[in-house]
Amino acid sequence: MSNTESLRQRRPLVTGGKTIHDITLDVAGPTERWGSKGWWLGLATSKTILFGYIIAWTMVLTIGTKLVGINNRMDWGSFIVNFVFWVGIGHAGTLISAILFLFRQNWRTSINRAAEAMTVFAVSCAGIFPMLHTGRPWLAILWVFPYPNFRGPLWTNFRSPLMWDVFAVSTYATVSVLFWYMGMIPDLATLRDRAKHPVRKFFYSLFSMGWRGSMRHWVHYESAYMIFAALATPLVLSVHTIVSFDFAVSILPGWHTTIFPPYFVAGAIFSGFAMVVTLLVPARKLFHLEDYITLDHLETINKIILLTGSIVGFSYITEFFIAFYSGAPFEQFAFANRAFGPFGWAYWIMMSCNLITPQFFWFKAIRRSIPLMFLLSIFVNIGMWFERYVILVTLSRAFVMPQWGTYIMTLWDFAILIGSFGQFMTLFLLFCRVLPVCNMAEMKAFHPDTLRQIRESHDHD
């Protein structure tokens, strides 16, 4: 069976009997109209939270990191928790864009643009925490990046996983931005041709790079897109693997384990797809995109959440089994302390949200229920933040009892955590206002009218 015939027999990617012209009107429309009341309300709320975020960081940078819960046992405090959380959120966008593209999963066409934007914004949120954690980044930044310097033979320690993070996350951010931007070029040209205001027309013309939709342009575009997809695919596995090395290469019980790389990657995809649901459920309603981001798309995402959530839950159980089977007293104590120690409340929140919550998606009625999937996706993201929190705070009880400490987050920690969501949502809402949420060019390519023309041309040949 040919690809064209198999596509024709599947469920349509766009419902409602939309024509190719309807796709342009519906997807480009939100960028041409004044924002709705819901959009303005969301933007005002996000910018208010963002303003508090800026104030919190200003206070920390001015007065010092003594405002937050950092102490001798918790050198990173909540900053590394937030860093790992936001890096993980960005994994779904790269997986949807790159891996699903290489596997020819055409259902991705309606959601890949928003997922790619989510990746870029999440990585931008994550990158702030390592830099500002130093307290005075305008001084400490000199000691982070490898460059010819005045320190003679003194260079950055390339054996440190923190240095690996610099290269991995910066590479991931660069490829994600380029991949996201390149995929938008045909759609930017469509917005350019429809723009009436000279300022809008100028910027869309500038960023569409003279796209005319010629055969030569499409050939170069598809070749470049394939190359970027091939480059981005290993990043899905490598970035969070390297982030896990921040913990796994240490000798601390509970951290020094080989399960961390696959466990972190599965958890990143798990939380990333949950955030995709959290964003797309209100976005499809706010911009009237129900015929493009359909229940079938959301149900498929929920199936991936079920799969990756089961992998994460299996990893939790495996950690406890390996600690028991090893017979190592320090390792056994580390995991017993997680579940029944002073931070046991956080552990059981993590287990409830990450192990139990995704299992509800075994039921089709829940997988296709908009309110329930939205609620469950929020629980998953809460659980994944607490997962990183639990992994970190168990460090407060290591080998020697006199070194045991207690980690307590302050109001400034909470302000920075909540404020990072304000930054993320502000960027995402602005993206929805000025750029197409869905990929118009790819949706048109798989439209029944397009496939019919291809089939007729083949029959004629």
Per-residue pLDDT reduced to its tens digit, 65-121: 888 888 777 777 888 899 999 999 988 888 888 888 888 888 888 888 899 999 999
Query: Which pLDDT score is estimated for 401?
Result: 65
pLDDT, tens digit, 9 for 90 and up, residues 154-198: 556 677 787 788 888 888 989 999 999 998 999 999 999 998 888
Integer-rounded Cα Rg, in Å, for the chain is: 24
Please report, for residues 53, 138, 173, 363, the alpha-carbon distance to residue 128 in angstroms, rounded to integers and kept in the order given. Answer: 12, 13, 13, 39
Distance (Å, rounded) from C-alpha 78 to C-alpha 129? 9
Q: What is the pLDDT averaged over residues 391-417?
A: 79
Query: Which pLDDT score is estimated for 64?
Result: 81
Asked whether 397 and 17 are in contact (CB, 8 A), the reply is no
Binning pLDDT at 50, 70 and 90, where does residue 396 land? low
Please report, for residues 111, 264, 390, the alpha-carbon distance to residue 280 in angstroms, rounded to integers and kept in the order given. Answer: 8, 24, 29
Total domains, the chain:
1
The residue written with tokens 């302000």 in the block is 415
Q: Does the pTM of the predicted model rise above 0.85?
A: yes
CATH code, domain with 449:
1.20.1630.10
Angle value at C-alpha 259, between 256 and 263, nearest 5 degrees:
120
pLDDT, tens digit, 9 for 90 and up, residues 317-369: 998 898 888 888 888 888 888 888 888 899 999 999 999 999 999 999 999 99
Query: Which pLDDT score is estimated for 253?
Result: 83
pLDDT, tens digit, 9 for 90 and up, residues 18-72: 888 888 888 888 888 887 888 999 999 999 999 999 999 999 888 888 888 887 7
Residue 439 has pLDDT above 90, yes or no: no
Full residue range of the structural domain in which residue 339 is found: 3-460
Count the Cβ atoms, other than its own, within 10 Å of residue 220: 11
